[in-house]
Amino acid sequence: MEYKALLFCFIASVLITPLVKKMAIKIGATDKPNHRKVHKIVMPRLGGLAIFLSFAIGLLFFFPESKFTWPVFIGATIIIITGILDDMKELSAKVKLGGQLLATIVVVIGGVQVEYINLPFGGQLEFGYLSIPITILWIVGITNAINLIDGLDGLAAGVSAIALLTISGMAITMGNVFVVFAGFMMLGSTLGFLLYNFYPAKIFMGDTGALFLGFMISVLSLLGFKNVTLFSFIIPVIILGVPISDTLFAIVRRVIQRKPLSAPDKSHLHHCLINLGYSHPETVLMIYAVSALFSLAAVIFSQATMFGALSVIALLILMIELIVEMTGLIGKEYKPILNLIKDYRKR
């Protein structure tokens, strides 16, 4: 049944996206090129509206009776409205954050929150009053992380699709029916849009899409892995390794450069790869591959012993460090491990 839902939303997205493209051009919701952006011509955005409409139709048709359906739908609608207004009028960071917080509060009231974690050696870690702020921090953080990687044709949609496939697949093994259906419907909607968004893109998802994808991925990962073991709680962090690490290093970079955290720059992972000489599609496919590696690591991590799980984490940290040094994600001079290897070879 879940595969029918995926196909339904995929077809809906394929049919709705061209209509949204026409509407975006008609109302002037377009993305103009500037010094921070890669594209050279004016592009229609609001593509995220097509992803949302396809998902919403599927959700209300296939899964209208779940206790999470309406909180998620209402929260997603608030996010979409925030994104549409931003794509049309470029809202301030405070107003955008306000919309995200309002949407998050709706789903938290609807029961989406982490209440406790089962510890590996017995007992539970109760979050108590911290449950709500931790949940809000996670949802808002992941929402903005997906938004930050939306810098190349098909990048955010493809990375999100990989994350959604992993979350949905793991939810099957856990028997979480709502996450399975919602995840596959989001996957179908995203892939349908990706047909128009991969290089060379015919439409951008805009903040409408990036915020919606980030919001839904954060909510589904919480629903899929909440109230589980300490190590299992790390799984969604691994699955979302690319947007999370890119966001963390963007923060580090701005702190080092003494810039405001909200200041835009052109030093994200996709920018760094392009600066190294890779083409637009090559860069996107490389980041897809890294995202797939993170998702594979999450699956292995979920089935591993404690020693195996710790080994996976250690290897991921090493991989991230090497990517940071090779791409210059923090700075061109930051290469401690590569310099160490270089010095060793000289001996």
Q: Is the peptide bond before 120 cis (omega within 30 degrees of 0)?
A: no
Q: Is residue 147 annotated as involved in ligand binding? A: yes
Lowest pLDDT segment from 158-162, 204-208, 260-264:
260-264
Given this model, what pLDDT does residue 306 score? 81
DSSP β-bridge partners for residue 126: 116
Q: CA–CA separation, 142 vs 221, rounded Å? A: 10
| pLDDT higher than threshold 60 for residue 3 | yes
Q: Which residue has the tokens 């419907």?
A: 185
| pLDDT higher than threshold 90 for residue 211 | yes
Average pLDDT, the chain: 88
Contact 242, 170 (CB under 8 A): no
Lowest pLDDT segment from 3-17, 73-87, 89-103, 107-121:
107-121
In SS3 terms, the chain reads as CHHHHHHHHHHHHHHHHHHHHHHHHHHCCEECCCCCCCCCCCEECCHHHHHHHHHHHHHHHHCCCCCCHHHHHHHHHHHHHHHHHHHHHCCCHHHHHHHHHHHHHHHHHCCCCCCEEECCCCCEEECHHHHHHHHHHHHHHHHHHHHHCCCCCCHHHHHHHHHHHHHHHHHHHHCCHHHHHHHHHHHHHHHHHHHHHCCCCCCCCHHHHHHHHHHHHHHHHHHHHCCCECCHHHHHHHHCHHHHHHHHHHHHHHHHCCCCCCCCCCCCHHHHHHHCCCCHHHHHHHHHHHHHHHHHHHHHHHHCCHHHHHHHHHHHHHHHHHHHHHHCCCCCCCCHHHHHHHHHHHC
Please state the domain extents for the chain.
2-346
| pLDDT higher than threshold 60 for residue 278 | yes
Given this model, what pLDDT does residue 305 score? 82
Please write the tens of the pLDDT for every residue from 90-131.
888 899 999 999 999 999 999 888 777 765 555 667 778 888
Given this model, what pLDDT does residue 194 score? 97
pLDDT greater at residue 72 or residue 227: 72
| pLDDT higher than threshold 90 for residue 346 | no
Lowest pLDDT segment from 21-25, 106-110, 131-135, 258-262:
258-262
Q: Which of 29-43, 177-191, 252-266, 306-320 has the highest mean pLDDT?
A: 177-191
Q: Is residue 176 annotated as involved in ligand binding? A: no
Confidence band for 232, pLDDT divided at 50, 70 and 90: low
Contact 167, 217 (CB under 8 A): yes
Which amino acid is residue 47, in one-letter code?
G
For residues 46-55, give the mean pLDDT.
96
Please write the tens of the pLDDT for every residue from 284-318.
999 999 999 999 999 998 888 888 888 999 999 99
Instruction: Provide the CB-side half-sphere exposure for 166 (13 A, CA).
Output: 28
Q: What is the pTM of this model?
A: 0.90
